Structure 1
Amino acid sequence: MTEQPKRPDAFYGYLEGWISLVLNIALFALKYWAGIVSGSVSLLAGAWHTLSDSFTSIVVLIGFKVSSAPIDRKHPFGRGKAELVGNIIIGAILAVIGSHFLIESISKLRNHESASFGTLAIIVSIISLVIKEALARFAFILSKKINSRSLFSEGWHHRSETFASALILIGIVLNDQFWWIDAVLGLLITGLIFYTAFELLREKIRPLIGVKPDPELINKLQEMAQAVCKRDLHINHAYIHEYGNVSEIRFHVQIPGNTSLNDAHSVVIKLEKEIKERLKMEAIIHVEPMDIKTMDTKAVSFYKRENPGLYEECLKIRKEVFVDEQKVDISLEIDEHENECKFWLIQLDGESAATGRWRLTPDGYKLERFAVLNKYRATGLGRILLEHVLSDILPTDKPIYLYSQTSAVGFYEKYGFYKTGEPFIEANIEHYKMIFDM
């Protein structure tokens, strides 16, 4: 594996990280000093919340430093998970800090302690509100520019601090009327700290262990697969893993069992390329033969006069298989026996997939026009169709027979039919007469 160049967006990550780090440390010192002077638990809690933003800024810097290292053999997806681990550590630290201020706030309520806010607290809170909102907007702009979830998360951390500063200003205004306002605001800001910790842990742990894509993404994948391969491909077992700024999706895709290895490989390569271009995600696709057991299967029998609509569905399948694929003349395919035959139609997930018919002749029951769409061959659908038709006729003392194309003789032999007589040509295709051994 050749080494890849460093991430070109690292500069913006460093820029936001360093600016946030310097300003957050300065704000922490100011707010902590103001909190000590005024005895305000809400200011002290806000100071530590600000310091937690310094920690996240450090993680942003380290994350961009580590994740921008070149991809190599030992790290085929880079080192982006280092950023996730760092954020989890910060989330745990925030939970501990929140617990401390929860106890402090409850203690102030029990002891009827109030804070002595002054001009310093007002000035510090206003400075904090303005700076944190500016940092939030700066982070949002850069996150959009370089498509960075880390910077987007950083922006919301700054925005939460803006809310905290606004709460403290409200507390300063109401402090003379309500002695308990500082303790209550301390509880509110503690809740904000806990919420930030929870969101950090939830947001960063889930990508580490892998998450299921939402239904909308699955539908997009289905549409892309159909557009690329000109057929419905059934997608399952999908999971998303994140490596910093790189997202990887893994899923299984079911394709017809008669697809050649080269064709299956071509399908996967095209689909992976399409996913990377449109969804900006790396894809690892596992190919497996189509399993109709996982599909909604419906089998119906009817005569042409009873259900002309379903009869047309049968004709579509027969035309695709016999006329288009095998070049049988349409005048031979649709014969004079259509009105006297009983038809069977198998539908998978609402799509007509296989058909066959039978009729009573002087020689017994004759099975005819068995056809399975190409993409559903080698899935067991032919066996299901044959079993339905036989169950419709049996038990009987009359012979059951069919004219099988030479290529299908082996299939019918597995289910109790045997050849009789010499091969013959029908519609330019070699056939054998086969009789069901009852």
Structure 2
Amino acid sequence: MNSFEQTRYKMIRRGAVIGIIGNILLAIIKGWAGIVADSRALVADAVHSASDVVSSIAVMIGIRAANLPPDKDHPYGHGKAETLTAIIVAVLLFIVGFEIGLNAVKDAGEPVAVPKTIALYAVVFSIAAKEAMFRYKHYLGKKYRSEAIITDAWHHRSDVFSSLAALAGIGATILGDKAGISWMLYGDLAAGLIVSIMIMKMAWDLGTDSIHNVLDHVLHSEDTVEMRRQAANVEGVMQIDELLAREHGHYVIVDIKLSVDPLITVEEGHAIGKQVKETLLADKNVKDVFVHVNPYTKN
């Protein structure tokens, strides 16, 4: 593991740990405030935060597995472990969205309890904390190309939405009770359904992207222009016949076919191929390069 990969692993692991600790603290704070304030919406949101600990632990496991060195059964490394983790988190996120919507429908037949004002403060604190966690983890995920961290970051953003729904519902219930407007007491149910649909849509999009990547997605030609240019500039390379860059989790594996002078020795051709490999490996996102050398022929 080179210095960049060590730093990457350290920073992403730190992000996952922060997610676990943050969700535990928020679950405790919101659970306590929900019970004191007699707010079902806040208690449900606390359970939501507690369930998020599971996804953060899954991310931790996925990150650790992705950083295992290549072995006989996995010669390309374990980078796809992060992508598989992202799929798992997306599924959990979809289930959370479904549960929020289901609970909103079930609560429609229950008597409405008017929560105390302290519930509003707890929800506002939760929104601020979750948004900060989202921004931090999204930054880490983008910087270090971690699908698992990015998906978990959006999980935090989904919590912001669900907390906003709880805030709207609690606020509407308190205001409706004071103003004597009965229909406002059910504002949290409508908000919960809307947020439920938003979260499920988010989970579907994130899961679809991760599934696309786990199926040996190849970078588009416009994304490999610089790679082709660098390889073509190596002395002795007469033509790039084919270049395929496969995403393998957070890194890329390159397969390249190039043509050299057919009259040079095998050793000289091998040296050119080796130089092309070293040139492409200079990119920190490229994990390995497989070079096939062909004799150049005019079309």
TM-score bucket of the superposed structures, by smaller chain:
0.7 to 0.9
Check whether the contact 2:130–2:156 (CA below 8 A) recurs between aligned residues: yes
Q: 2:283 is paired with a residue of what secondary structure?
A: helix
State the Cα RMSD in Å: 3.6
Check whether the contact 2:169–2:187 (CA below 8 A) recurs between aligned residues: yes
Q: Deviations over 1:27-70 (max 9, x none)?
A: 23444566673233xx4664454334322321232234334445
Check whether the contact 1:137–1:155 (CA below 8 A) recurs between aligned residues: yes
Name the aligned partner's letter for residue 226 of structure 1: A
**1:199 to 1:154, Cα distance in 2 relative to 1, 3 A:** same
Check whether the contact 2:258–2:292 (CA below 8 A) recurs between aligned residues: yes
Check whether the contact 2:259–2:294 (CA below 8 A) recurs between aligned residues: yes
Instruction: Select the residue among 217, 221, 229 that pairs with 1:223.
Output: 229
**1:280 to 1:90, Cα distance in 2 relative to 1, 3 A:** closer
Percent of matched pairs sharing the same residue: 24
Check whether the contact 2:232–2:239 (CA below 8 A) recurs between aligned residues: yes
TM-score by length of 2: 0.75
Q: Residue in 1 aligned with 2:131? A: 133
Q: 1:90 is paired with a residue of what secondary structure?
A: helix
The 2-side partners of 1:134 and 1:158 are apart by 9
The 2-side partners of 1:218 and 1:143 are apart by 21
TM-score by length of 1: 0.54
Instruction: Select the residue among 236, 240, 251 that pairs with 1:233.
Output: 240
**1:284 to 1:156, Cα distance in 2 relative to 1, 3 A:** same
The 1-side partners of 2:111 and 2:218 are apart by 49
Instruction: Select the residue among 236, 253, 256 that pairs with 2:257.
Output: 253
Name the aligned partner's letter for residue 64 of structure 2: K
Q: Deviations over 1:152-190 (max 9, x none)?
A: 443333234234333432343334253432112111222
Q: Residue in 1 aligned with 2:11? A: 12
Name the aligned partner's letter for residue 155 of structure 2: H
Name the aligned partner's letter for residue 233 of structure 1: I
Q: Residue in 2 aligned with 1:122? A: 120
Q: CA shift at 1:8, angstroms?
A: 2.7
The 1-side partners of 2:281 and 2:253 are apart by 10
Name the aligned partner's letter for residue 95 of structure 1: F
Q: 1:99 is paired with a residue of what secondary structure?
A: helix
Q: 1:233 is paired with a residue of what secondary structure?
A: strand
The 2-side partners of 1:5 and 1:279 are apart by 9
The 1-side partners of 2:129 and 2:39 are apart by 22
Q: Deviations over 1:92-112 (max 9, x none)?
A: 333333333333323445x49
Check whether the contact 1:67–1:83 (CA below 8 A) recurs between aligned residues: yes
Instruction: Select the residue among 163, 182, 186 that pairs with 2:192.
Output: 186
The 2-side partners of 1:115 and 1:273 are apart by 67
The 2-side partners of 1:168 and 1:108 are apart by 13
Bigger Rg, structure 1 or 2 = 1
The 2-side partners of 1:67 and 1:216 are apart by 27
Q: CA shift at 1:24, angstroms?
A: 0.3
Q: Residue in 1 aligned with 2:82? A: 83
- Structure 2, unmatched stretches of 5+, are none
**1:259 to 1:61, Cα distance in 2 relative to 1, 3 A:** farther
1:174 matched to 2:172: yes
Name the aligned partner's letter for residue 165 of structure 1: S
The 2-side partners of 1:67 and 1:254 are apart by 31
The 2-side partners of 1:26 and 1:116 are apart by 25
Q: 2:218 is paired with a residue of what secondary structure?
A: coil
Q: Deviations over 1:377-416 (max 9, x none)?
A: 3xxx4xxxxxxxxxxxxxxxxxxxxxxxxxxxxxxxxxxx
Instruction: Select the residue among 273, 277, 288 that pairs with 2:278.
Output: 273
The 2-side partners of 1:163 and 1:259 are apart by 66
Q: 1:258 is paired with a residue of what secondary structure?
A: coil
Q: Greater share of strand residues, 1 or 2?
A: 1
1:159 matched to 2:157: yes
Q: Residue in 2 aligned with 1:98? A: 97
The 1-side partners of 2:219 and 2:86 are apart by 22
- Residues 262-341 of structure 1 aligned to structure 2 (within 5 Å): 262-278=267-283, 280-285=285-290, 287=292, 289=294
Q: How many residue pairs end up in the alignment?
A: 285
Check whether the contact 1:59–1:86 (CA below 8 A) recurs between aligned residues: yes
**1:181 to 1:231, Cα distance in 2 relative to 1, 3 A:** farther
Name the aligned partner's letter for residue 273 of structure 2: V
Q: Residue in 2 aligned with 1:409? A: none
The 2-side partners of 1:107 and 1:259 are apart by 78
Check whether the contact 1:20–1:57 (CA below 8 A) recurs between aligned residues: yes
- Residues 39-54 of structure 1 aligned to structure 2 (within 5 Å): 39-40=40-41, 43=42, 46-54=45-53
**1:232 to 1:113, Cα distance in 2 relative to 1, 3 A:** farther
- Structure 1, unmatched stretches of 5+, are 291-374, 382-438
